[in-house]
């Protein structure tokens, strides 16, 4: 059974880290006999130049036809307005493919410097399709508007449907890990919207009596992650809170350059680097490709679960182990981690370890 993986390289360092990721996936395909087919489509500034939009219809149709997507970083803050073609490809994919769960693991790695005083291994499960994010909160029009030039308003949408399914995702994941879930909220202030979110999480909790459960207010949670991240296993949150906390957890584990991220729905999943496009170092072969590589490993595991193919799950685990092995020694790290390798060379090292 063959699987079609579509690469959307993106902006800035995107093409470089995408190439390194593809080399690792090809090594996994060779070792495990995965039957992977690779293709590319334009998005971002390259697509804007050629098609007049950062996310053209031809790219969208390629996404619809793919079994999985590897999405590079985008410079959407620098895009023109939406009516001039400046669509955020990440937001478009999350809505059009209904990628309701953004799953972001963070764990400290042996030999990799990190600012946390503790070793930890946690996952943040973030709702991905609503909340304060303007491109995801309203069917027609953005969720931000200005009644006058001096007043800016933002609408936050929280639905029972989205809250129930993200809670289900978190509890199901916890049964494969250490069996603990923490719900993050601000219901002491946003009593209606976060109150609805908590109501849904508690309803799902009743189906998992074996799972240890707690709730934390978001500002307290930010402090707990710094003080004792090791006490947490699976953290579930609404969109913006989950976005902020997952970046904090990634930095505590060693940096965004190491952080995996998977956008998952019922039918499709997208591997996405957790960091930005870093245009200041684009084309210099110095970017760390780990974030996109381990995100692609998560995509293989998701495809393995979906298609009941153990070899895909094994390949994802082997990629993660190969990355960890490469990061153990400075001689096989990238320069941001006090190593000596460039983007391409690091990808080649990981690919060789996958094949070994």
Q: What is the pLDDT of residues 143-162, one digit of tens each?
A: 899 999 999 999 999 999 99
3-class SS at 111? Answer: coil
Instruction: Report, in angstroms and rounded to the nearest whole number, the Rg of the chain calculated over CA atoms.
Output: 20
Taken in order 279, 281, 284, 287, the sign of the CA dihedral is: negative
Q: pLDDT band at residue 126, thresholds of 50, 70 and 90?
A: very high
Does residue 105 belong to any structural domain of this protein? Answer: no
Number of independent structural domains in the chain: 1
C-alpha distances (whole Å) from 176 to each of 74, 92, 96, 171, 180 are 32, 30, 29, 9, 10
Assigned domain for 160 exists: no
Does 349 map to a domain? Answer: yes
Rounded mean pLDDT, 323-342 = 94
pLDDT at 275 exceeding the cut of 90: yes
The whole-number average pLDDT for the span 56-73 is 97
Residue 288 lies in a domain: yes
Q: Is residue 76 part of a domain?
A: yes
Domain that holds residue 27: 1-99+259-356
In this prediction, residues 225-231 reach a mean pLDDT of: 97
Residue with tokens 């390289």, as numbered in its chain: 9
Question: What is the predicted pLDDT for the residue at 135?
Answer: 79
Q: For residue 19, tell me if it sits in a domain.
A: yes
The reported pLDDT for the residue numbered 88 is 93
pLDDT on residue 118: 92
Could you tell me if 8 and 43 are in contact, meaning their C-beta atoms sit under 8 angstroms apart? Answer: yes
* Sequence-ordered alpha helix ranges (H) in 228-342: 239-253, 290-307, 310-328
Residue 209: CB partners within 8 Å, gap ≥ 6? Answer: none
pLDDT at 294 over 80: yes
Instruction: Return mean pLDDT, the chain.
Output: 96
Within a domain: residue 179? Answer: no
Q: Which residues are catalytic?
A: 133, 186, 219, 243, 247
> Is 302 a residue whose pLDDT tops 80?
yes
Which pTM does this prediction carry? 0.95
Residue that the structure tokens 């410097």 belong to: 113
Check pLDDT > 90 for residue 140: no
Residue 277: which CATH number? 3.40.718.10
> 113 pLDDT exceeds 80?
yes
Confidence of residue 136 (pLDDT cuts 50, 70, 90): confident
Does residue 14 lie in a domain region? yes
- Contact by Cβ (8 Å): 346, 326: yes
pLDDT above 80: residue 141: no
Model confidence at 138: pLDDT above 80: yes
pLDDT band at 133 (very low <50, low <70, confident <90, very high): confident
Handedness of CA 49, 53, 59, 61 (dihedral sign): negative
Say which range, 95-99, 132-136, 306-310, has the weakest mean pLDDT: 132-136
């Amino acid at each position: 059974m063959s699987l079609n993986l579509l690469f959307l390289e993106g902006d800035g360092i995107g093409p470089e880290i995408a190439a390194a990721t593809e080399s690792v996936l090809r090594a996994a395909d060779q070792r495990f006999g995965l039957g992977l087919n690779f293709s590319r489509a334009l998005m971002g500034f390259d697509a804007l130049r050629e098609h007049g939009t950062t996310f053209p219809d031809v790219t969208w149709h390629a996404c619809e036809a793919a079994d999985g997507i590897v999405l590079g970083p985008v410079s959407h803050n620098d895009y023109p307005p939406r009516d001039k073609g400046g669509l955020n490809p990440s937001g478009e994919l999350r809505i059009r493919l209904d990628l309701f769960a953004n799953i972001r693991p963070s764990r400290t790695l042996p030999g990799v410097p990190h600012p946390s005083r503790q070793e930890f291994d946690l996952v943040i499960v973030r709702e991905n399709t609503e909340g304060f994010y303007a491109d995801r909160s309203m069917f027609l029009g953005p969720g931000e508007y200005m009644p006058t030039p001096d007043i800016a308003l933002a609408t936050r949408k929280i639905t029972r449907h989205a809250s129930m399914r993200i809670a289900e995702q978190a509890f199901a994941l916890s049964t494969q890990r250490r069996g603990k879930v923490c719900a993050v909220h601000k219901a002491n202030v946003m009593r209606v919207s976060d109150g609805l979110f908590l109501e849904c999480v508690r309803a799902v909790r009743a189906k998992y009596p074996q799972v240890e459960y707690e709730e934390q207010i978001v500002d307290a949670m930010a402090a707990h992650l710094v003080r004792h991240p090791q006490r947490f296993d699976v953290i579930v949150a609404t969109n913006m809170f989950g976005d902020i906390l997952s970046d904090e957890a990634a930095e505590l584990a060693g940096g965004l350059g190491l952080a995996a991220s998977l956008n998952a729905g019922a039918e499709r999943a997208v591997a996405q680097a957790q960091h930005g496009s870093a245009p200041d170092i684009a084309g210099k072969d110095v970017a760390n490709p780990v974030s996109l590589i381990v995100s692609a490993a998560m995509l293989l595991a998701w495809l393995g679960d979906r298609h009941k193919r153990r070899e895909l799950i094994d390949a994802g685990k082997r990629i993660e182990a190969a990355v960890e092995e490469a990061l153990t020694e400075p001689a096989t790290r990238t320069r941001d981690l006090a190593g000596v390798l460039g983007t391409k060379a690091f990808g080649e090292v990981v690919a060789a370890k996958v094949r070994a």
